[in-house]
Chain A
Amino acid sequence: MSVDNFKTNIYEYLETLPKVTFLRLFEKPATCLAIFRLLPSIGRQIVMSFLYVEAEIQVQDVNNWVNKDGEKMLPEALHKLSRLRIFEQKSSTLTMNYTFRQEFRNALTGGGAQQSFGLPCSSPDKHPVDIPFLDQYATQQWESILHYMVGTSSNKTPSRGVLNLLERSQLMQYGTDNPDTLQITNKGFQFLLQDVNTQVWAFLLQYLNMAEVLQMDLVEVLNFLFQLGSLELGENYSVETLTQTQQQMLEDLRDYGIVYQRKRGSRRYYPTRLATTLTSGNMAIAGAALKNVTAGDISKTAATGNSGAGTTVAAVVDEESEQGFIVLETNYRIYAYTESPLQIAVLNLFVQLQSRFRNMVAGVITRESVRNALIKGITARQIISYLETHAHPQMRKKTPILPLTVVDQIQLWEMERCRLKTHAAYLYHEFNVQADFDAAAKHAKDIDVLLWSNPKKRTMVITQSGHDQVKGFVKRRLNNPRG
C-alpha cells in the first residue's frame, strides 16, 4: 500500500514533464531502471519482451498475447507506457523510444560509460562510518524535522532550507498570532501519519518544484535522485561523477538525512537507508531498535553492504514486519512497543494515552480522542492505514489485520461529524390558495429544484439556483388566477 502511494506520486509528477526532458532523462541507465520499476506488472513485461526485438510491434499482437483476465489491465498499462514516453503508439504499431532501449540494455549488461550507478571511492576513508552510524544519523535528521512539526521540544531546529520547504509545501504555515514561528496545518497532520517513504518523496517532489524556480537543472536533479536509489548502503561514493547541480543538492540532502557527508566540501558521501530505499518502497527507517540483517549466520556480508544478495532473503521479510509495534485489541485498547518520542507524539494525536512504561505506552481509542484528530483534519482512512502499517507482526498474522469493530467504529465517528448537510435555499410559505401551492410544488418538482415541501402547511423549500424560475412561475400564477 505504501509502495503504491509514493509510486503514484512520482508517476504523476513525471507525467507532467515534457517529452524533451524524458529524452534527456533516458540517457542514464540508472534512471531508466528506476522509471521501469514504476510500471505495472504487464507494462514491465511488455518492455522486457520487446527490448531486444528491433521490429515494430503490432498492437493486435499485444492484445492477443494477453488473455481474458489481463484485458482489463492492458489499456492502463499501455497508457502509462506512452505517458512515460517509453513507447510511442502510432495507429496500430508500437515503437520503443530509441534512447530508452539503448540505455536500458546498457543497464542490463553493465555497458555504456555513463557511470550512472555511482562511482565508489577508490581511496579508503580516513574517518570511516558504519551502517549503524548512518542509520542513527538518518533517523536523527529526519526525526528532528518531524519533531519540529509536531512541536515536541527538541534541541535542533531544522535548517533554513528545510523550513522553507515545509512552508512551501503547506505542511506548516506562519502563525497569525506570532508571524515568526511556523505552526502545523491540517495537511501537516496528515503528513505525519504517512509512512516514511511517502513522506520523503513528498519532500523531494516539493524540492523538485522549488528546483525549477531556482534554475537548477531538473533532469540532473532527477538523475541524482534515481541514482541514489540504486546505491549500496554502507559504501562511500566519490563526488567526482556529480555535476555542479548535483553537488549543490548534496548539501540539501544532508539536511534531510538522506546522505551523509562529513563536511560541506568533503569529496565523498555515504547514502543512508533513506536513500537506498528511495525507489524500492521498503520501509526506510526501522525505528529505535534496528535489528540489522537477521540472517547473520550466512551473511557476514552485511558489513560490506551487499544487502541485495540472495543470502538476505529472510532479512528483507523481517525488515518489513519489524516496523510494526502497535497491538490493537477489540476493546479499543492500544499497546505500542516503542520508546521513540516521535511515535508517541503521533499516537497522541488520536489515542488517549493512559500509561507509559520503559518500552511501551498503553492507551485507549475513545470517541473524544478520535474526534480531536478529526477536528485537526486527519481522516479516518489515515488513522486506519497508520495503524495497519505499524501493526505488530503478531497482528499481521491475522486477517483482517485490525479488528473490524474498531475500524468500523472509527469510520462511524467520522461520519458522525457529517450529520448535517447545508444547502443555500429559499423558503416559500403563506400560500393562500391550496391550488396555487400544489401547482407551484409540481412545477418545482418537474424542474428538479424542490428540496422539501409540506402540503398541509403550504410551505416549500427551493434551491438557490431554481429560485428565479419558481419565483417567476408563482408571480405569473398569482397575476393570472385560474379561478
Chain B
Amino acid sequence: DSNLLVIILDTNPFVWAESAKAPHTPLSLDDALRQVLIFINAHLALKYNNKVVVIASHVGHSKFLYPISDDEITKHRISGERNANMYPNFQFVMDQIVASLQELLSNTDVSFLEKDSGTSSMITGAFSMALCYIHRITKNDDLGHIKPRIMILSLSPDSAAHYIPLMNCIFSAQKAAIPVDVCKVYGEETAFLQQAANITGGIYVQVENPQSLLQYLMFAFLPERYARKFLNLPNQDQVDFRAACFCHKKIVDIGYVCSVCLSIFCSWSPVCTTCKTKFAFRPMVPPSPMRGKPSPISK
C-alpha cells in the first residue's frame, strides 16, 4: 500500500515574521522548513512507494510547491546535479520545494497587509487543491492501494470569512475518509481546524516548544493510517465547536439555526438566505434571568 501525504504549509510571511520574534519560543521559517524537510524525507523513507505533495497556503492564493510541472522546473533553474550522499528521491523533492518556496516568497504582494485579510492565509484554497489532487489520483487507482491523508501546518488565525468553504472541504474530507491532521505551530487555537481534525479522525497538536518541531512531527504525525490503529496518539479533550454565522461571518456561541438547511445566523431574520424558507412568526424573546415567571409564548 502506498501512502500519499499532502502537506499544507502555511507560508504567510507576516505571521512567520512575528513567530521568529516571539519572546520565549522563536521559530523562523528557515528553522521550520529544515525540520519539515527532514520529516518529508522520513515519510518517503518509510516505504519505497510513499508519495508526498506540498502545497503552500500564502496570503491571497495557494500554490503547489511539489510536484510542479516541467516548465516551472526549468524556470526555477533547478540543477539536476546529483549528490552521491543523498537518496535520489529525497534530493529531487527537496530541490523542488526549496526553489518553489523561494520564488513564492520573493513574489509576495505586500498590499495584502493593508487589507483586513492580512493576517490570514488561504488555507481553504490549499485544502480544496489538496482534495482535488487526491481525487484525481484515487480515480486512477482501482485497487485502492493508495491511502491519502492531509496534514496542515498552521500559524495564522482562523479566517471567519472562509467559514462556509472550509466546512464544505472538511465534510468532503470526512466523506472520502481522508484524515486531516493539524499541527499548530504558533498562534492561538483555531476553532475550525480543531473541528476538522475531530470530524475526520485526525490528530491536533498545539506545539509548545517550536524548536523541537521535528520531534512532534516524527512522533505524532508520521505514523501512516495503518499504524494509527495500533498507537495511542495525541487526542483532543475538548473541541471548540463554535461556528461562524452566515450573515456577518462573526464567530458565535449561541445563534439562530434555520430548521430546514441548518445554516447559522447571529440574529433573527424572517427569510433564510440559503434555502429561502420563510419564517412567518415573530421570534421568541429569550427569558431574562431577572423575571420571576416564565413569559407567555407569543404566537
Q: Using a Cβ–Cβ cut-off of 8 Å, how many residues does chain B contribute to the interface with A?
A: 51
Q: Is B4 an interface residue (CB 8 A)?
A: yes
Q: Is B46 an interface residue (CB 8 A)?
A: yes
Assembly CA distance A334 to B111 (angstroms) = 69
The interface stretch among B155-163, B191-199, B200-208, B212-220 is B212-220
Cβ distance A352 to chain B, nearest Cβ, rounded Å: 31
Q: Verify B87–A33 contact, CB threshold 8 A.
A: yes
Q: List residues of chain A with CB within 8 A of the CB of B46.
A: 37, 44, 48
The A78-121 residues at the B interface (CB cut-off 8 A) are 106-120
Q: List residues of chain A with CB within 8 A of the CB of B36.
A: none
Q: Verify B38–A109 contact, CB threshold 8 A.
A: yes
Cβ distance B257 to chain A, nearest Cβ, rounded Å: 37
Q: List residues of chain A with CB within 8 A of the CB of B232.
A: 64-67
Cβ distance B241 to chain A, nearest Cβ, rounded Å: 26
Q: Is B277 an interface residue (CB 8 A)?
A: no
| 0 or 1 for each of A395-432: is its CB under 8 Å from B? (1 = yes) | 01100000000000000000000000000000000000
Q: Which residue of A lies closest to B232 (CB)?
A: A67
Q: Verify B84–A117 contact, CB threshold 8 A.
A: yes
Q: Which residue of B lies closest to A229 (CB)?
A: B48
Q: Verify B88–A45 contact, CB threshold 8 A.
A: no
Q: Is A337 an interface residue (CB 8 A)?
A: no
Given known contacts A49-B222, A108-B42, is B67 in contact with A310 (CB within 8 Å)?
yes
| 0 or 1 for each of B48-69: is its CB under 8 Å from A? (1 = yes) | 1101110000000000001101
Q: Verify B88–A37 contact, CB threshold 8 A.
A: no
Assembly CA distance A41 to B50 (angstroms) = 13
Q: Is B231 an interface residue (CB 8 A)?
A: yes
Cβ distance A53 to chain B, nearest Cβ, rounded Å: 7
Q: Which residue of A lies closest to B40 (CB)?
A: A108
Q: Is A385 an interface residue (CB 8 A)?
A: no
The B143-188 residues at the A interface (CB cut-off 8 A) are 143, 145-146
Cβ distance B6 to chain A, nearest Cβ, rounded Å: 10
Q: Is B140 an interface residue (CB 8 A)?
A: yes
Given known contacts A70-B229, A321-B143, is B51 in contact with A313 (CB within 8 Å)?
yes
Per a CB cutoff under 8 Å, which of A33, A37, A53, A115 touches B85?
A115
The A25-46 residues at the B interface (CB cut-off 8 A) are 29-30, 33, 36-37, 41-42, 44-45
Q: A48, A118, A241, A393: which has the most chain B beta carbons within 10 Å?
A: A48
Cβ distance A328 to chain B, nearest Cβ, rounded Å: 18
Q: Is B47 an interface residue (CB 8 A)?
A: yes
Q: Is A282 an interface residue (CB 8 A)?
A: yes
Q: Is A478 an interface residue (CB 8 A)?
A: no
Assembly CA distance A472 to B74 (angstroms) = 94
Q: Verify A48–B90 contact, CB threshold 8 A.
A: no
| 0 or 1 for each of A347-370: is its CB under 8 Å from B? (1 = yes) | 000000000000000000000000
Cβ distance A124 to chain B, nearest Cβ, rounded Å: 13
Q: List residues of chain B with CB within 8 A of the CB of A230.
A: 87-88
Given known contacts A109-B38, A111-B85, A317-B140, is B66 in contact with A310 (CB within 8 Å)?
yes
Q: Verify B87–A52 contact, CB threshold 8 A.
A: no
Per a CB cutoff under 8 Å, which of A42, A45, A110, A298 touches B222?
A45
Per a CB cutoff under 8 Å, which of A113, A280, A310 touches B53?
A310
Per a CB cutoff under 8 Å, which of B42, B142, B229 touches A69?
B229
The interface stretch among A149-157, A300-308, A372-380, A460-468 is A300-308
Per a CB cutoff under 8 Å, which of A52, A282, A308 touches B89?
A308
Per a CB cutoff under 8 Å, which of A48, A279, A311, A397 touches B218?
A48
Q: B41, B146, B231: which has the most chain A beta carbons within 10 Å?
A: B231
Cβ distance A433 to chain B, nearest Cβ, rounded Å: 68
Q: List residues of chain A with CB within 8 A of the CB of B87.
A: 30, 33, 107, 110, 117, 230
Q: Which residue of A lies closest to B73 (CB)?
A: A301
Q: Verify A42–B218 contact, CB threshold 8 A.
A: no
Q: List residues of chain B with CB within 8 A of the CB of A439.
A: none
Q: Is B30 an interface residue (CB 8 A)?
A: no
Q: Verify B90–A309 contact, CB threshold 8 A.
A: no
Cβ distance A118 to chain B, nearest Cβ, rounded Å: 6
Q: Is B70 an interface residue (CB 8 A)?
A: yes
Q: Verify B142–A52 contact, CB threshold 8 A.
A: no
Q: Which residue of B lies closest to A53 (CB)?
A: B215
Q: Verify A106–B85 contact, CB threshold 8 A.
A: yes
Q: Verify A309–B92 contact, CB threshold 8 A.
A: yes
Per a CB cutoff under 8 Å, which of B51, B53, B215, B229 touches A52?
B215
Q: Is B137 an interface residue (CB 8 A)?
A: yes
Q: Verify A107–B45 contact, CB threshold 8 A.
A: yes
Assembly CA distance A203 to B93 (angstroms) = 34
Q: Verify A314–B140 contact, CB threshold 8 A.
A: yes
Q: Which residue of B lies closest to A308 (CB)?
A: B89
The B6-42 residues at the A interface (CB cut-off 8 A) are 38, 41-42
Q: Is B128 an interface residue (CB 8 A)?
A: no
Q: Is B293 an interface residue (CB 8 A)?
A: no
Assembly CA distance A313 to B52 (angstroms) = 10
Q: Verify A282–B49 contact, CB threshold 8 A.
A: yes
Q: List residues of chain B with CB within 8 A of the CB of A65.
A: 231-232
Q: Which residue of A lies closest to B226 (CB)?
A: A41
Q: Verify A280–B90 contact, CB threshold 8 A.
A: no
Q: Verify A66–B231 contact, CB threshold 8 A.
A: yes
Per a CB cutoff under 8 Å, which of B42, B45, B48, B145 touches A281?
B48
Given known contacts A51-B218, A109-B41, A110-B91, is B49 in contact with A280 (CB within 8 Å)?
yes
Q: Verify B38–A108 contact, CB threshold 8 A.
A: yes
Q: Is A255 an interface residue (CB 8 A)?
A: no
Per a CB cutoff under 8 Å, which of A107, A115, A393 touches B84?
A115
Q: Verify B140–A69 contact, CB threshold 8 A.
A: no
Q: Verify A310–B85 contact, CB threshold 8 A.
A: no
Q: Is B224 an interface residue (CB 8 A)?
A: yes
Cβ distance A233 to chain B, nearest Cβ, rounded Å: 10
Q: List residues of chain B with CB within 8 A of the CB of A304.
A: 80
Q: Is A451 an interface residue (CB 8 A)?
A: no
Q: Is B79 an interface residue (CB 8 A)?
A: no
Cβ distance A131 to chain B, nearest Cβ, rounded Å: 15
Assembly CA distance A30 to B227 (angstroms) = 24
Q: List residues of chain A with CB within 8 A of the CB of B69.
A: 298
Provide 6 A-B residue pairs closer than 8 Å at the C-beta atoms, listed in order of the A residue. Answer: A44-B46, A110-B83, A119-B84, A230-B87, A301-B70, A313-B51
User: Nearest 5 CB-CB pairs, A to B?
Assistant: A70-B230, A110-B86, A280-B48, A308-B89, A119-B84
On A, residues with C-beta under 8 Å from B are 29-30, 33, 36-37, 41-42, 44-45, 48-49, 51-53, 64-67, 69-70, 73, 106-120, 230-232, 235, 241, 279-282, 298, 300-301, 304, 306, 308-311, 313-314, 316-317, 320-321, 393, 396-397
